[in-house]
Each structure stands twice: as structure tokens, then as C-alpha cells.
């Protein structure tokens, strides 16, 4: 069995952003030598998520607007600690923070429009995503 673990670093210029990381994940899978297995992509910071959906600017805006409607910037109890990012913790929760991608015949086995995004909800600081490939 083979395994490979890599960490992707992000420091987005904007507070909120969607960064398409499909190509970077594909490269790690190729380097792993795994032919049949799983590739985990998981945001290691609790104000960031992983979104698998369409690379379409309008939809990306619709998605962010839905999150703002469901988990708006507001005066959260979490802010008593001095933090101001309560909404980002909740947006990560609704988005989901990890994807388990199948690897088949040495490649990411994604649907025709599935793209993998790092979803930043409290950026402008260095944060990590773990990518771990396991298989044969």
C-alpha cells in the first residue's frame, strides 16, 4: 500500500474567497503513484471549508450569498473571546470542510463538472489544507 501526505498553504488577499485547487490535488495524486484508492482533502482551520461544485462565477456568488443569508455576519457569543469571525465558523459548517475523492486508474475520479475549491471565510492569514492519498 502507498500513502502520500501534502499540505497546501493559503493566504487569500480577501477575507472570503473560493480557490480552485483541483489541479494541485491532481498533481499530488499523480506523484503518489496510487492507482486505486482515496484522496482526502480537508481544511485544517475551522473557519475554512472545502466545496466541490462548478467553476462558474455566478454560482460561486450565489453560494456565498446563500451562506451570508444562513450564517450572516452578526454579533455572536463567540466574539466575547475577542474574535470577530463567528460567521466564518458557521459558514464552514454549512459548506462542509472535507472531500473524499476516489482515485481510479491513477486519476481523480470526478464527475464532468466537479471542481474542488478551498473555501475561505476568514482569510488574510496563513492557513492549511491537508491532502492525503492512500491506496495501491
Draw the binding track, 3-42, toward its own copies (x: CB under 8 A; -: no contact).
x-x------------------------------xxx-x-x
Among 62, 73, 107, 124, binds its own copies (CB under 8 A): 62
Q: Using CB under 8 A, which residues numbered 94 to 123 contact its own copies?
A: 94-100, 102, 104, 109-114
Taking the least distance from each CB to its own copies, the nearer of 31 and 56 is 56
Tell me which long-range contacts 84-90 makes (C-beta under 8 A, separation of at least 24).
85/47, 85/121, 85/122, 87/121, 88/47, 88/48, 88/121, 88/122, 89/46, 89/47
Among 20, 27, 61, 84, binds its own copies (CB under 8 A): 61
Residues that bind its own copies in the complex, under the rule CB under 8 A: 1, 3, 5, 36-38, 40, 42-46, 51-54, 56-59, 61-63, 66, 70-71, 76-81, 86, 89-90, 92-100, 102, 104, 109-114, 128, 130, 132, 134-136
Amino acid at each position: 500500500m502507498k500513502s502520500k501526505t501534502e499540505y497546501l498553504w493559503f493566504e487569500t488577499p480577501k477575507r472570503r474567497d473560493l480557490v480552485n485547487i483541483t489541479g494541485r490535488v491532481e498533481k499530488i495524486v499523480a506523484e503518489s503513484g496510487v492507482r486505486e484508492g482515496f484522496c482526502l482533502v480537508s481544511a485544517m482551520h475551522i473557519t475554512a471549508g472545502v466545496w466541490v461544485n462548478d467553476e462558474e462565477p455566478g454560482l460561486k456568488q450565489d453560494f456565498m450569498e446563500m451562506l451570508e443569508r444562513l450564517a450572516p455576519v452578526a454579533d455572536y457569543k463567540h466574539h466575547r473571546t475577542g474574535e470577530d469571525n463567528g460567521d466564518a465558523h458557521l459558514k464552514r459548517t454549512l459548506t462542509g470542510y472535507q472531500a473524499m475523492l476516489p482515485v481510479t486508474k491513477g486519476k481523480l475520479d470526478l464527475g464532468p463538472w466537479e471542481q474542488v475549491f478551498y473555501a475561505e471565510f476568514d482569510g488574510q492569514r496563513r492557513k492549511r489544507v491537508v491532502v492525503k492519498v492512500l491506496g495501491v
